[in-house]
Chains A and B, each alone.
Chain A
Amino acid sequence: MSRATSLVSTDWVQENLSNPNVVLIEVDEDTSLYEKGHIQGAITFHWREDLQDGLIRDLISKEKFEALLSKNGISNDSTVVLYGGNNNWFATYAFWYFKIYGHQDVRLIDGGRKLWELKGLPLVTEVPTRTASRYVAKERDNSIRAFRDQVIASIGIKNIVDVRSPAEFAGELAAPAHLPQEGGQIKGHIPGAKNIPWSKAANEDGTFKSNDELADLYKTAGVDFSKETIAYCRIGERSAFSWFVLHELLDLQNVTNYDGSWTEYGSLVGVPVAVGA
């Protein structure tokens, strides 16, 4: 994994709009954005309806993932290129998801939908028709996913990175400021966690900072790259962004995303919690 294999530029996308092996997928928090306009040829995945099992609050099963990709004409050898709004939060979550199920060639558009729009590049409303395929997923790779008991056992041992805003970390806000203030039962953070907001890894136009800047960001904040790192946020999307930075761009292999995140941790009974900066 590296910047070269995980990230593509808006120029690359423009050059590959007609490439039959490339499947563009938009994944947004605000799912109405796709209907408003999307990159030519792109399909969309709904982060909740397509990618969450509503009954047991988990990732969808391997069989459902296979059905989703098959229905959308994605093959095991497709080059999947993800992008979305909100600085690619939900697109990086989908990227992590594709990696969980072992897809070989998945990439992210640097800057996502925002950079595409800020550059004034064209969006279309036409929804492409794709011929169904027969996709076969691998068993889940849980080496990039953290579970709550692992997180609790990691306090004071591994790097735990809270990628939410400082106000959420301190316990002043329960959710990002563009959402109603709801989330875990209590506010605060996991004791010992370093607060390195996801946004510090991104430039204003949504592109990622350079690898030197990124490594400096985490090291200065006290992350020891020789140890395992767990990233978390509120519901696992922003932490997927920071997981992408650490695991894909900085090529650190011992990094997991705790997708249960604060919504799960902040609702547990009797676990240690810290508040304040």
Chain B
Amino acid sequence: MRTCGATPGGPDLAGVDLANQAVIQGVVLRGGVSDGVPNGAPVDNAYVRLLDLNGEFTAEVPTNLEGQFRFFAAPGSWTVVVLAHGAREEVKVQAQTGIPVDLVIQI
């Protein structure tokens, strides 16, 4: 996991009201050497689910053409679940207002 930096995994944050939003975002990449796909290729047909502290479903988005996704959450503990053809990954994160969580998730 990376925090806010010059090269975040998720979409460009320009125009996002970070002062008032607890953003969780990132990019999904297809890794591995035996799946026939180059390492680091963005996965543009994954589904990313956001579960709350109790594991309850809160939201789901498809990845964009660059394999990216974004949620506007509330501060606290969340789980990000990535579903794609033949893959499922879970990442636990802490969201806070003002500092976006930016993930790079390899599947």
Contacts and interface: CB of A to CB of B under 8 A. Distances in A.
Interface of A: 30, 33, 36-37, 85-87, 114, 117-120, 165-167, 172-173, 175-181, 197, 199-200, 204-205
A207 to B, nearest CB: 13
Residue in B21, B52, B60, B73 with the greatest tally of chain A CB atoms within 10 Å: B60
Contact of B58 (A120, A165, A181, A205): A165
A contact patch SS:
loop
Contacts of B84: 118
A86 B58 CA distance: 12
Given A30-B62, A120-B85, A197 B47 contact: no
Contacts of B70: 178
A176 B65 CA distance: 22
A114 B84 CA distance: 9
19 contacts: A30-B61, A37-B45, A85-B62, A86-B60, A87-B60, A118-B84, A119-B85, A167-B52, A172-B74, A175-B72, A176-B58, A178-B59, A180-B17, A180-B21, A181-B21, A181-B72, A197-B56, A200-B57, A204-B49
Contact of A118 (B50, B52, B59, B83): B83
A151 to B, nearest CB: 25
A177 B72 CA distance: 5
A119 B84 CA distance: 9
Contacts of A204: 49, 81, 83
B75 to A, nearest CB: 10
Interface string B25-47: 00000000000000000001101
Contact of B72 (A172, A180, A205): A180
Contacts of A87: 60
Interface in B65-85: 65, 70-74, 81, 83-85
A176 B70 CA distance: 12
Interface residues of B, number: 28
B86 interface: yes
B contact patch SS:
strand
A103 to B, nearest CB: 28
Contact of B85 (A118, A165, A166, A199): A118
A177 B59 contact: yes
A179 B52 contact: no
Contacts of A165: 52, 56-59
Residue in A87, A166, A173, A178 with the greatest tally of chain B CB atoms within 10 Å: A178
A5 B60 CA distance: 28
Residue in A87, A119, A199 with the greatest tally of chain B CB atoms within 10 Å: A199
A119 B20 CA distance: 38
Given A114-B47, A120-B86, A199 B57 contact: yes
A118 B57 contact: no
Nearest to B24: A177
B95 to A, nearest CB: 9
A36 B74 contact: no
Contacts of B21: 180-181
A36 B44 CA distance: 9
Given A36-B65, A117-B85, 20 more contacts: A37-B45, A86-B61, A114-B62, A117-B45, A117-B47, A118-B47, A166-B56, A166-B58, A167-B52, A177-B50, A177-B73, A178-B59, A178-B60, A179-B72, A181-B20, A181-B72, A197-B57, A199-B57, A204-B81, A204-B83
A177 B80 CA distance: 12
A176 B60 CA distance: 9
